[in-house]
Amino acid sequence: MSTSAYARTRRGPVTVVLGVLLVGLDNYVLVNALPALSARLRTDTAGLRWVVAAYSLAWLCSLLPAERLGDRLGHRRLLLAGLALFGAASLAAALVTTVGPLIGLRAAMGAGAAVIMTQTLASLAALPREHRSRTVAAASVAAMLGLPLGPLATGLLLTRFSWGSIFLLNLPITVAAMIAVVLTVPDQRRAGAPPMDWPGLILSALGITALTHGVIAGPTAGWTSPGVRAALAAGALLLAAFARHELATAAPLVELRLLTERRIVPAVLAGLTGTLAITGTLLVVAPFLLVVQHQSALAAGVRLLPLAVGVAVGGAVSERLATWSSERSALALGLLLAAAGQAALAGLQPTSGYEPVGSALALLGIGLGVASPIATDTVLDALPVGRARAGSRLSRWFQNLGGVLGAALPGSALDLVYRARSGGAGGALRIPVDEAAYCSGIRYAAGLSCVLLVLTALCAALLRPYRTVDEL
């Protein structure tokens, strides 16, 4: 091995860890900053929902196309572009004073984050096998650190600085990652990369955006208003056209044909509902700690830690549970534990202490920590080796769709009930809040996630495979 190649091998894990840590932190940096944003930007609750949803939406729409662009244009070049976009958008977001530009910049950050994640992980292929497994383990730890460190970092910054500082946190990591890319990542391309599925990309992006707009606008504009009904109908029609196109095209963005294998269906749905539940919970419980229990942003970040600890504990025992019983049984058990955590959150009252919150978050984390690795392994194990990459893309697309829905559905359920119980004044994230109305909203938001998790658990327990996909 040449000296330069050896240096790249030694430093390559640094690039991967920095990229994954940057994206992991930014995924959760806003959860305990929303009331502060509402006060400083003078925006309504729907605007804040869009600040969160824009990031998830752009991430979903950019993730799979970024994989193909990296294969065709080169991973190093695209990774540097993604880091530059993410860093520039972070700097600009720290300086804005109104919600509209912030929504657009969060979308740019989501697109940049999708590029960073895909190209960072693609750079693993350039590492020797003996270094790759160690790097994968380090990247997994960096990704998990985003959940506890994101809210904690936000809390620390908001105690000393203005809300814009939460975006400036990204800049030193971005600069370090760009230097590491220049030093360690070769500009590889993959021969025979499939062409970009532009019709699928456009149909999915427009459909999910329209659906998200309808869900977020519903509580404010009214579910029967022409604009909301038109958005929901357009979203449904566009997504139906997307599904039809993906089933017919030779090089689909998402291989929906794989869902004909019943073993895959509950695993894919578990990724969707699990991500929806954890995203929705953070966006509902963090403001509860802030505006109902009157905790500081830092204290709220600390009180969210049982969720991250639960995920780690569940992940540690996941494989043993699957071996002891079966994949289907362990998957169903994990989802039911997560549903129990949501049921516990539905019982919160203005006078509730922290104990029911912490125990509910821990239970949710343990359940999802058990279910998530099993769901991923189930998809890969059900497919022949040549289709594993397509299965991974399918699983990740539905998982990220869950992130978009989690940013919209539970919060909109809370907003709808809050407005009805508080007489329509203000919004669920406007201070001061009607504490009783907020807790009533949590009941419906958590109840929605609970029902979806139970239905997915039943699917995992009862839907038996009837064929293999060797011929798909």
Full 3-state SS string of 287-352: HHHHHHCCCCHHHHHHHCHHHHHHHHHHHHHHHHHHHHCCHHHHHHHHHHHHHHHHHHHCCCCCCC
Q: Distance of CA 108 to CAs 30, 51, 79, 92, 275, Å?
A: 16, 11, 15, 11, 21
Q: Distance of CA 272 to CAs 83, 268, 275, 467, Å?
A: 27, 6, 5, 23
pLDDT higher for 327 or 214? 214
Question: Does 271 have pLDDT greater than 90?
Answer: yes
Question: Does 70 have pLDDT greater than 90?
Answer: no
Question: Does 126 have pLDDT greater than 70?
Answer: no
Q: Which amino acid, one-letter code, is at 158?
A: L
Taking all residues of the chain, what is their mean pLDDT, rounded to a whole number?
A: 89
Assigned token pair, 212: 């998200």
pTM: 0.92
pLDDT higher for 43 or 206? 206
Nearest by Cα to 288 from 408, 154, 418: 418
pLDDT at 1: 43
Q: How far is the C-alpha of 340 from the C-alpha of 364, rounded, in Å?
A: 7
pLDDT at 189: 75
User: Exposed, middle or buried, 143 (CB in 10 Å: 0-12/13-18/19+)?
Assistant: middle
Assigned token pair, 408: 């919209």
Question: Does 468 have pLDDT greater than 60?
Answer: no
Q: How far is the C-alpha of 59 from the C-alpha of 107, rounded, in Å?
A: 8
Helix, strand or coil, per DSSP, at residue 162: coil
- Residue 367 contacts residue 337 (beta carbons within 8 Å): yes
Q: How far is the C-alpha of 392 from the C-alpha of 134, rounded, in Å?
A: 21
Task: Choose the most confident range, by mean pLDDT, from 7-16, 134-143, 152-161.
Answer: 152-161
Residue 179, CA atoms < 13 Å, CB-side half-sphere: 6
- Residue 365 contacts residue 451 (beta carbons within 8 Å): no
pLDDT band at 15 (very low <50, low <70, confident <90, very high): confident
pLDDT at 425: 57
Q: Cα-atom radius of gyration of the chain, to the nearest Å?
A: 22
The packing angle between helices 264-287 and 34-41, to 10°, is 60
Nearest by Cα to 307 from 341, 339, 340, 333: 341
pLDDT band at 41 (very low <50, low <70, confident <90, very high): confident
**Region 233-255: what's the mean pLDDT?**
95
Percent of the chain scored above 70 by pLDDT?
90
Question: Does 376 have pLDDT greater than 50?
Answer: yes
Question: Does 358 have pLDDT greater than 90?
Answer: yes
- Residue 372 contacts residue 143 (beta carbons within 8 Å): no
pLDDT at 431: 67
Question: Does 156 have pLDDT greater than 50?
Answer: yes
pLDDT at 145: 81
User: Exposed, middle or buried, 276 (CB in 10 Å: 0-12/13-18/19+)?
Assistant: buried
pLDDT at 252: 94
